[in-house]
Amino acid sequence: MQARELEHDGLRIRSYGTAGPWAVVLHGGPAAPGYMAPVARRLAASFRVLEPFQRGSGGEPLTVARHVADLHGIVTECCGGTRPAIVGHSWGAMLALAYGAAHPDAVQALALVGCGTFDLAARARMRATLDERMDERVRRRLERLDEAIADPDERLRAMGSLIQRVDSYDLLPAADELAPCDARAHHETWDDMIRLQSEGVYPAAFAAIRAPVIMFHGAYDPHPGALIRAGLEPLLPQLEYRQWERCGHYPWRERAVHAEFLDALAAWLEARFAEA
């Protein structure tokens, strides 16, 4: 399926599908746009899907609030006055929660795929898992990236490619749909999220979310699903959780579960709109 190109407030948006409720698919990184296209294309069988490329670096440092405001502009201007489902991956799942907390009446449902971390314990577990899995070849290549690649955006892309091997169980081959990365946007956005966590803003703010929420997680994902879930459940009593074995951080690309995951995601979203 060929995406249609849109633009809103200087942001690039890819649009898929012609009928059905609205869904917005959020990439991770931060600042690694484009790779969620396979998820958007699958959902387009039942939804009108928007895949925004989040704001890049510029005159002012990027913040979580800026990304939330950008997403709200897209939702209010591009979703026909209706409440969309938000599907976020990794950092995109964190942004989905931040948006749902800031605008609880603007979302129909939140689906969190491979959600990122909100506390020191979960991040420590993730780092330990990555360290355990990393062989010396990958470790050396990561250590030498600063010397090997001068451009910070290309260096971020290369780092992501290396980490993806450790994040994943058994990936199917796929076209590289990742657009150019933005290292400055990545660091500014992530630094602000860490600041907000250290100040106690997140995850506490997520208690304001009233929409249905589900985590889709791979058992092999270094992001520790059980720990992340345990930190969110006291704030989100409606939180559902589904986990797959033989599945890492990118379920739609994992050989053992890709079709089952995409079908489950679409079915869960369809059910949430049917309940409305």
pLDDT in tens, 1-24: 789 999 999 999 999 999 999 999
- In angstroms, the CA 162 to CA 128 distance is 16
pTM, whole model, 2 decimals? 0.97
- In angstroms, the CA 137 to CA 160 distance is 15
pLDDT single digits (tens) 254-270: 999 999 999 999 999 99
Tell me what pLDDT residue 172 has.
96
Residues 80-109 have a mean pLDDT of: 98
Average pLDDT value for the chain: 97
- Distant-in-sequence, close-in-space partners of 7: CB < 8 Å, separation ≥ 6: 13
Tell me what pLDDT residue 35 has.
96
Indicate the pLDDT class of residue 59, thresholds 50, 70 and 90. confident
Say which residue the tokens 């991040």 belong to.
123
- Distant-in-sequence, close-in-space partners of 55: CB < 8 Å, separation ≥ 6: 10, 11, 62, 66, 67, 70, 185
Residues 97-124 have a mean pLDDT of: 98
Say which residue the tokens 């994902």 belong to.
221
Give alpha helix (H) positions in the chain: 37-43, 64-78, 91-102, 120-133, 136-143, 145-148, 152-167, 183-198, 225-232, 258-275
* Percent of the chain surpassing pLDDT 90: 97
Tell me what pLDDT residue 16 has.
98
- In angstroms, the CA 230 to CA 232 distance is 6
Tell me what pLDDT residue 154 has.
97
